[in-house]
Amino acid sequence: MAPTDKTQLRVGRLTKAHGLKGALKLELFTDTPEQRFTPGASFTLQVPETSEWSGKTLTLGELRWYNGHPVGFFEGVDDRTAAESLVKAILWVDQDLDELPDEDDAWYHHQLVGLRVERDGVVVGTVARVDHLPAQDLLAVDTEHGEVLVPFVSAIVPSVDIEAGLVTVTPPPGLFEDLADDTVDADPADAGAADADTADAATVDGAAETEADAADDSTRSADEN
């Protein structure tokens, strides 16, 4: 298979019908809605295979803001019934792999996932994904003892070198060590239950997402907080 120079980024989710003319409220997964959600922008839809929208794309007519919430008007979605059939659909766009965000010290998820994580000159794991929380973003780091969630702030993640494939961390004492201690003392039955929880969490709106699929178009600066 020929190598591709593009990936897909998840930029939003349709959450609720708005009004009677086909508008939909949006949950945004991008820091640049003014660039992603312009009139004429086309989105690939992630919906269940049984949906009437499966395999189709959606074109934006207009993005408006109501009380601080984004609302999208899409071509061919002309009434509330059509809008309700799109609720929970996830919107994806194509993105060049080598394109960087405009901000300094900011990265797309696909640029961070897979990077080695180094502490005190020793590699402790790899970045599995980026989680967005209201207070801050977290780097989920896969280690030999399990997953560690590292606050993505400059005091703890002082350096990200995309070319070198390396993230340098300076975590507080115990962030990685406590996980290793818990692993030694863990009950095998508890570990099985944790695996089951992880499997359940991997299903989104009726479609399982792989780690590669979970790339959002949210860029985060290490200085943002």
What's the pLDDT at 178?
A: 59
Confirm whether pTM is higher than 0.95: no
Read off the pLDDT band of 110 (50, 70, 90).
confident
Q: Which of 127-131, 132-136, 164-168 has the lowest mean pLDDT?
A: 132-136
Smallest Cα–Cα separation from 157: which of 145, 144, 143, 175? 175
Read off the pLDDT band of 198 (50, 70, 90).
very low
The whole-number average pLDDT for the span 17-43 is 91
Radius of gyration, CA atoms only, the chain: 20
| Cβ contacts of 179-182, under 8 Å, gap ≥ 24 | 179/143, 179/145, 179/146, 179/148, 180/145, 182/145
Residue 66 vs residues 25, 26, 69, 130: alpha-carbon distances, Å: 9, 11, 5, 29
The whole-number average pLDDT for the span 17-30 is 93
Q: Which of 111-115, 155-159, 174-178, 202-206 has the lowest mean pLDDT?
A: 202-206
Supply the mean pLDDT for the chain: 77
CB contact set of 29 (below 8 Å; sequence gap of 6+): 10, 11, 12, 13, 132, 216, 217, 218
Instruction: Please give the single-letter amino acid code of residue 30.
Output: T
- Per the DSSP assignment, residues forming a β-bridge with 26 are 14
